Amino acid sequence: MVRGVGACLPERAVTNVELASRVDTSDDWIVQRTGIKQRYIAGDGETTVSLGTRAAARALASAGIAAADIDLIIVATSTPDHTFPSSASEIQAALGITQGVAFDLQAVCSGFVFAVTTADKFLTSGSHKRALVIGAETFSRLLDWEDRTTCVLFGDGAGAMVLEAVEGGEAGVIASKLRSDGRHRDKLYVDGGPSTTGTVGHLRMEGREVFKHAVGMVTDVIKACFAEAGITAEDIDWFVPHQANRRIIDASADKLGIAREKVVITVDVHGNTSAASIPLALDAAVADGRIKPGDLVMIEAMGGGFTWGAALIRW
Ligand code: UT7
């Protein structure tokens, strides 16, 4: 079951107007095409590990669980502090955790859905008891700040969830579907890496192509989750999609017949924070009282690879 959530954003918010002073864009274009009004950008000393550690500490506090009781840490990130060790190992040490296992999982924007699903499989197998699942990113450090087609879209941040194995009951992940198709690699990728250029590289995206595939892919896996759980769109209480683009979110909700008032939106204030976007949105909706114990929550994402997936969670 979900025991708690937490989040952490960098200190500095950057508005569209501020970006328009750096690249040839406008507040109007960004708001109309994406719904984004601002994003947070990490400053000196703010990293994936530091943001992820703070989000994780807040999730532990909200769960009322001690760091010493965590035996599994999965960090979904494509922007680790170092090529190795994993950000999960670094966060584990920062939290003073010395037991259990910690590893990173890389599925770009789908990372949090992949990580929640993976953690659930560990917990339901009985091998582990309490998991910290973290989505943490500093995409600002992968961006080509001269490229207006990508640099206006992304932001930095981290979110975390504590999951606990419980006997019986139906709380926690009740259905999930993960998919990948590497043939779409060139539509969204980073043009560097340790084994090729020896550099970090920059994010490259054919936005229109990604957009074209997004709605169909995510609605397919969501429908598969509905079928597995034996429910319909009307049964869910909250739809918490990956926050890439308001138009993709609205089109997906409409296609599935999910009422707009059940959709949690944070893309306006966070931008696209990749693997961090869903836990940031979950934290916001728990903090303001929308998501409550017993609610049925659908999370979904699609991103580089392509990767895509959905998970249905009884809160
Ligand atoms: O999280 C991972 C998954 N990623 C996504 O889900 C992103 C999916 N894609 C998208 O969200 C959208 O495709 C974008 C927001 C990236 C772009 O929106 P679009 O409606 O697909 O626009 P477009 O790429 O078709 O570009 C329309 C026009 C172009 O000009 P021309 O060729 O029509 O003259 C672009 O050059 O807008 C121009 N443009 C801009 N103008 C002002 C592109 N970027 C900008 C910009 N400011 N920042």
Which of 8, 109, 151, 225 is an active site residue? 109
Contact in structure between 55 and 158 (CB atoms under 8 Å): yes
**54 Cβ contact partners less than 8 Å away, ≥ 6 residues apart:** 6, 8, 158
247 lines ligand 1 (CB under 6 A): no
Using CA atoms, how far apart are residues 135 and 129, in angstroms rounded to an integer? 20
Question: What's the pLDDT score for residue 243?
Answer: 98
Contact in structure between 272 and 140 (CB atoms under 8 Å): no
Q: Please indicate whether residue 242 is annotated as part of the active site.
A: yes
33 lines ligand 1 (CB under 6 A): yes
CA of 186 to the centre of ligand 1 (A): 17
Cis peptide, bond prior to residue 85, ω within 30 of zero = yes
Question: What's the pLDDT score for residue 125?
Answer: 95
Widest pairwise Cα distance in the chain:
56
47 lines ligand 1 (CB under 6 A): no
Distance set, CA 138 to CA 112, 283, 296 (Å):
15, 18, 30
What is the number of other CB atoms lying within 10 angstroms of the CB of residue 155?
Answer: 29
Using CA atoms, how far apart are residues 315 and 309, in angstroms rounded to an integer? 19
CA of 147 to the centre of ligand 1 (A): 11
Token pair recorded at residue 310:
């959905």
CA of 161 to the centre of ligand 1 (A): 32
DSSP state, residue 154: B
Question: What's the pLDDT score for residue 240?
Answer: 98
Q: Please indicate whether residue 245 is annotated as part of the active site.
A: no
Topology of the domain covering 2-164: Peroxisomal Thiolase; Chain A, domain 1 (3.40.47)
DSSP state, residue 272: B
Question: What's the pLDDT score for residue 168?
Answer: 78
Which residue bears the tokens 């979900």?
A: 2
Find the distance separating the first CA and the last CA of the chain, reported in whole Å. 7
Same topology, domains 2-164 and 172-314? Answer is yes
pTM greater than 0.95 (yes/no): yes
For the chain, what are the domain ranges? 2-164, 172-314
Question: What's the pLDDT score for residue 170?
Answer: 79
Using CA atoms, how far apart are residues 107 and 180, in angstroms rounded to an integer? 9
Mutate to test the pocket of ligand 1, among 21, 27, 31, 33 (most ligand atoms within 8 A of CB): 33
Task: Give the β-pairing of 156-164 and 172-180.
Answer: unpaired
Per-residue pLDDT of the chain (315 residues; tens, 9 = 90+): 999 999 999 999 999 999 999 999 999 999 999 999 999 999 999 999 999 999 999 999 999 999 999 999 999 999 999 999 999 999 999 999 999 999 999 999 999 999 999 999 999 999 999 999 999 999 999 999 999 999 999 999 999 999 999 987 778 999 999 999 999 999 999 999 999 999 999 999 999 999 999 999 999 999 999 999 999 999 999 999 999 999 999 999 999 999 999 999 999 999 999 999 999 999 999 999 999 999 999 999 999 999 999 999 999
Q: Please indicate whether residue 213 is annotated as part of the active site.
A: no
Tell me which residue has its CA closest to atom 36 in ligand 1: 149
Tell me which residue has its CA closest to atom 6 in ligand 1: 244
3-class secondary-structure state, position 143: coil
Q: DSSP H helical segments within the chain, as ranges?
A: 16-20, 27-34, 48-63, 87-94, 111-125, 148-151, 207-229, 246-256, 267-270, 277-287
Q: What residue type is 304 in one-letter code? A: G
Which residue bears the tokens 């997906």?
A: 252
Does the domain formed by 172-314 have CATH 3.40.47.10?
Answer: yes
